[in-house]
Chains A and B, each alone.
Chain A
Amino acid sequence: MAPVPCAICKTSRALIIRPKNHQKLCKACFIAIFEAEIHHTITTTALFSPGDRIAIGASGGKDSTVLASVLKTLNERYNYGLELFLLSIDEGIKGYRDDSLETVKRNAQQYDMPLKIVGYDELYGWTMDQVVETIGKKGNCTYCGVFRRQALDRGAKMLGIKHVVTGHNADDVAETILMNLLRGDLPRLARSTSIVTGDSTSDVRRSKPLKYAYEKEIVLYAHHKKLDYFSTECLYSPEAFRGSARTLIKSLERVRPSTILDVVRSGEDMAKLVPEEVTGLSQCKSQKVSLSSADGEEDGSAGCGSNGRSSGGEMADMERKLQDDEAASGREMEITAVPLTNGQQHARVAGKSRKDVGRKLTRQTLGTCKQCGYMSSQDICKACMLLEGLNKNRPKMEIEIDVEDEESSTLRRKIEGLALAAG
């Protein structure tokens, strides 16, 4: 069979079928177009300014390793004028993170970037292994996600850096969109697609330059560039809604390769259709930035397992909760008119005394945690709340393990307040 020429240069032999559009390319053209596309994303969204100090959230996995490599290449090629750092979180998962951190240390030398490692144990006094020992495997991703998010921000602050980039790819974003639809989380649906989260008022911005890059292409790039990365998945299984969404995305990609990108596009469009009272953000603002950088697991699984084995316990929990709500709504006639999402279910309890609570979702405003002083839209930040539970040696946050939602905890505190007032 005659060799197929590359669709771009027409001279070299095509060796790669692009997962995204099945274009047949030679190795050099694939690498060139992959980099050009990331450059396109960075320039069209004006992600960086000359002189910026950028921390790359590095797990040693394929996504963050490719991100570090591409950013280094582009920074030199196009004179972005960036000062790049590697920032790693040590979750304390034996057999997984200790090995991958070795990879990051090698990357730091290979790319000549300073490396900072922040450990859960030093920040929180708990390693993930200890957390799992205490709460079991169910729902531990929430802890890890909340802790990692804050740890990255704190690590960035230690470095005096205001912008962290993460390796979230198009598959991660698409998965998050489907997951938020499945668990009925409109506020997160509205903001999970924006390329930058956190605005000028927040201490640390985060962005995902690989937002439109296919996971399969990231793997191909790492392979052909012979990058040194660590490929073992996290030992703990993902949350059931994410696992379910992930399996679905993989099947969809096989049926129509463009689906991942199409879901991302749908997510961007749907974000504009989420009513403002739900997002707490004005329309024009929500397009570019979102406020949620302080609150918990936002979008992601970068660095989390993709093995898809999960107990389904989270879905069963939510099912039970929804059924209870439905049963309750049968008994409370006047409140049934309040449309129900997860975030609002506590509102219907509150509705007994304050009918309108459910409708008027409080706008989120960024303040600081009263305990640790870290930025938070709540009085006490998510990490501190989770820690409080852990420190009492039991998972206090069970209600919110799956649905962790800022609104619901605000409302719950209000309800607690009401209960006290009544008593």
Chain B
Amino acid sequence: MALPGDDLESGNSATVCKRCNENEATHKIRSESVCAKCFAAYVTTKAVKRMETFKVRASSSKAPRKFLLPLSFGPSSASLLYILDQHLRNQYERMNRAAYELYVVHIDLYLDDADKKESADLLEKYKGLFSRHTYCSHGLDEALSLGNIDWKALGISSLWQVTERTSTERLQQLIGSMPSATSKADIISTLLTRLLVEVAKENGCESILFADSTTRLAEKTLTETAKGRGFSLPWQVSDGASPYGVGFNYPLRDILKKEVVAFTSLTAPSIKDLVKLPQPLSQISASSKTTTIDDLMVQYFESVEENFPSIVANVVRTSSKLKPLINYDVSACSVCGLPVAEGTDGIYGWGGDQNSVSRAATEDTHRDILCYGCSRSING
């Protein structure tokens, strides 16, 4: 975007960094031209500032806090790991102790053996580079053994009938039974969240550090709204306690996606080769059966971020102001586990459900408690 200041400098072939006034400007912080060093410092500071709420505990006898860092190998989680590793290293150098420990977890979504092998190798490389932390990996199929999901509510009774199935096959059957690509993506992300919460609890982590960028949080705001999950936004975009008894924090919330991606090529040691870049989405079509609401939002915010980065940030600031309802009769959704108002009947029984007469009668008289979003994913 052309800014008034640009014209003045365009006569020179190389612009000098606006922050240090020394090096050549190669990057942009919103509208400011800066050098690589100042850019990296900016990104690091933004993330570390978010971690400052977790101070080194006064008494050295107390064990440091433990956080779960889910690592997908994407640019955001790789950058977050790099930044926090440096942050901890600095703390050790200064004080010989650190405010927190990281428990890094990778969840395998693609469950064939080649993929598992590849991600295990990659995780080893991260371990080699950032050896201070504890690492583990789990398959998404392990979510199937979570006791706190009511599998009956998903309406696939055959899931547990065939006993000789592997958990991988079961997971594929479960996801395959969802009525649309969006529903599949939705149930995968629900299972992922619930598995991460479980891993965090099992390992004594008080919070999960999600690496969502500003852009990702804006996408999520609109995606969740579009999926009928507007009620869940206070826990999806705000820092703080989640209803699962584990904190959710988003240390990269002030950094745009393009800034995170640019950052991955500026680190020392380099993490560039360890980062899996997402597939480009430019040829997404709304009429394709495989396109999801999530895909559409990624594409949409890619263009908004390009032209209107502050609007992206403003969406997140806005949705972060939504407050969860308290002192309210609640029960938990059988699938996602989030609190829903007593008497909630999924996609049924509200103002927009106007034709209960023509609706096909459900076979089971007992209906599980489902939130609107899960109910929509299951019923299509």
Contact = CB atoms under 8 A, between A and B. Distances in A.
Contacts of A252: 226, 286, 293, 296
B231 A273 contact: yes
B310 interface: yes
B324 A273 contact: yes
Contacts of B180: 256
B358 A262 contact: no
Contacts of B226: 252, 256, 259, 262-263, 266
The size class of the interface chain B forms with chain A is 35 or more
A119 B30 CA distance: 46
A319 B310 contact: yes
B321 A339 contact: yes
B77 interface: no
A118 interface: no
A340 B317 CA distance: 7
A315 interface: yes
A267 interface: yes
Interface string B261-286: 00000000000000000000000001
B222 A181 contact: yes
Contacts of B308: 315-316, 318-319
Interface stretch (B111-119, B164-172, B348-356): B348-356
A254 B287 contact: yes
B379 to A, nearest CB: 9
B291 A255 contact: yes
B302 interface: no
B325 A273 contact: yes
Contacts of A262: 226-228, 372, 376
Contact of A265 (B317, B324, B352): B352
Interface stretch (A35-43, A373-381, A390-398, A414-422): A35-43
Contact of A275 (B181, B310, B321, B352): B321
A109 to B, nearest CB: 31
B317 to A, nearest CB: 6
Contacts of B317: 184, 339-341
B214 to A, nearest CB: 12
A40 B350 CA distance: 11
B86 interface: no
B249 interface: no
Contacts of B355: 33, 36-37, 40
B171 to A, nearest CB: 23
B235 to A, nearest CB: 11
A211 B30 CA distance: 40
A201 interface: no
A267 B181 CA distance: 23
A261 interface: yes
Given A248-B300, A322-B313, A266 B231 contact: yes
B352 to A, nearest CB: 5
Contact of A326 (B222, B234, B310): B310
B87 interface: no
Contacts of A258: 228, 347, 376, 380
B314 A322 contact: yes
B310 A323 contact: yes
Nearest to B181: A255
Nearest to A254: B286
Nearest to B284: A251
Q: Give the most central of B227, B230, B311: most A CB within 10 Å.
A: B230
Contact of A319 (B287, B311, B321): B311
A273 B358 contact: no
B263 to A, nearest CB: 19
A44 B231 contact: no
A266 B224 contact: yes
A376 B17 CA distance: 51
A186 B228 CA distance: 18
A41 B350 CA distance: 10
A189 B224 CA distance: 15
Contacts of B21: none
Nearest to A252: B226
A312 B1 CA distance: 14
B41 to A, nearest CB: 15
Interface in A170-204: 170, 177-178, 181-186, 189, 195
A266 B321 CA distance: 15
A278 interface: yes
Given A178-B222, A259-B293, A262-B228, A212 B324 contact: no
B318 interface: yes
Nearest to A270: B230
B325 to A, nearest CB: 6
Interface in B279-336: 286-287, 291-293, 296, 300, 307-311, 313-315, 317-319, 321-325
Given A319-B308, A323-B310, 16 more contacts: A23-B358, A45-B351, A183-B314, A184-B314, A186-B321, A189-B318, A255-B291, A258-B380, A262-B372, A266-B230, A268-B350, A272-B325, A273-B230, A274-B322, A319-B310, A326-B310
12 contacts: A33-B358, A181-B318, A248-B300, A255-B292, A256-B293, A265-B350, A266-B230, A266-B231, A269-B230, A270-B322, A273-B322, A275-B323
